[in-house]
A and B are shown apart, each in its own frame.
Chain A
């Protein structure tokens, strides 16, 4: 190989910084809105800019498109070069595209924060950004596509590693569905009245709902799932020094996931006005989804066979193994919730909120944190500043997640049971306000759980920043396990 060339981590470094920044902001906003649910008067702390209605989309967009995408892109610009055996140092065009990708992404994020806080939204869940920003999102995405396929075009390795297949899935899945879901008519340009920022969906009624949830669930599928699987298929083998348990199972799980996942969004519309067969298919495909998801989860856990002592020795491995465990747990919980009879109880309740946070806090958050701990010492050529902080952070965050999902489980099932409870004459036993009052203790526990997760994240940021500035200098790049000071 060409010994003089080194991997170029300059773009990965930028995305590591945005992972820390957007993670902190999105989690902070999440904690604020969690406490607003418990103490409604907190809504009035910052005029209309601090209300739940404005902060909630900021939280979801911040977590999905700020924190998670930054983590995925940091991973791509870090190990994309490594598994393809190319360097941006020898491809100035690809390096330029990477910088352009980062620059447009930052512009989109700044505009997203300004517009969402300003109350400008097209009122579609996980697709709130107004129509002019949608064009910028497309440019950002196309630039990533050029980087992704351009890098593969000049690769030295013939085989494209499994992680990159998952990134291709993220790229194609989001590209297709984002455009379809955001097709809209800017009302001012057509009618000459109203706001220039306002638009209406090209679809109406039930069709709009189906397109929205075709997209909405696939934001989960192709950002939270495939993007993060892409990260774990690289970072867990590399950090543990163990090859993937079965590469064949990886390939099969990939194609099975592609085949099934895109159709599962219909489960958001069970008991709505969508055709019954669409609801049934959404439900059936969600249950089938257990197979490819568990294929990946089990493949990850079996990668650690004979190496479980690493769980004691390395807190980074601990993060990754618990991330895989949360993936197994979440991908069993989701299908159960999409079974029609269970959905009758679960729909619109906090149990769904609990479910999404099992995934976002456990699977996504833990994997990105572990990936960052793996990348930073290699990017900055420094040892991790403190192993004790990682360990403490792990336990603070894990207890936070447990408080979060257990409170939301109890709260959601309580809600569902109270809403459908009737007396012997078929009259509802409770008014809506009765359920709200019954749930307040659980909302407080949820807020505390979220706060613990945020505290853990602050510890993570401190440890990473100290690693960058005060970690012991490394003479050579570690092959597998990341070195860390006690």
Chain B
């Protein structure tokens, strides 16, 4: 394969993957806000993991 063709494939593959990953990232934000708006999850409660971390503190979500 010609080096120019190879470079072209590399460039385009990089661009397409970047766009797909961007969409995934924005989709992730959307899903976070939607699941919280619907009351399915409360992400903010996990902040307490650092604060209530004594052995005697209640587990926030058991496994």
Contact = CB atoms under 8 A, between A and B. Distances in A.
Interface of A: 1-3, 5-7, 79, 82-83, 85, 87, 155-159, 161-163, 233-234, 237-238, 241, 243-244, 246-248, 251-252, 255-256, 259, 275, 277, 281, 477, 479-480
Contacts of A477: 54
Contacts of B21: 259
Interface of B: 7, 10-11, 14, 21, 25, 28-29, 32-33, 36, 43-51, 53-63
B49 A159 contact: yes
Contacts of B32: 248, 251-252
Contacts of A252: 25, 28-29, 32
Interface of chain B: mostly helix, strand, loop or mixed: helix
Contact of B48 (A155, A243, A255, A480): A243
A49 B53 CA distance: 48
Contact of A256 (B25, B53, B58): B25
Contact of A241 (B46, B51, B57): B51
A159 B46 contact: yes
A22 B32 CA distance: 42
Given A248-B43, A255-B28, A3 B33 contact: no
A156 B53 contact: no
A85 B7 contact: no
Contact of B63 (A3, A155, A161): A155
A79 B21 CA distance: 32
A243 B63 contact: no
B59 A277 contact: no
A157 B49 contact: yes
B50 A234 contact: yes
Given A233-B50, A241-B51, A156 B44 contact: no
B55 A161 contact: no
B58 A1 contact: yes
A480 B53 CA distance: 11
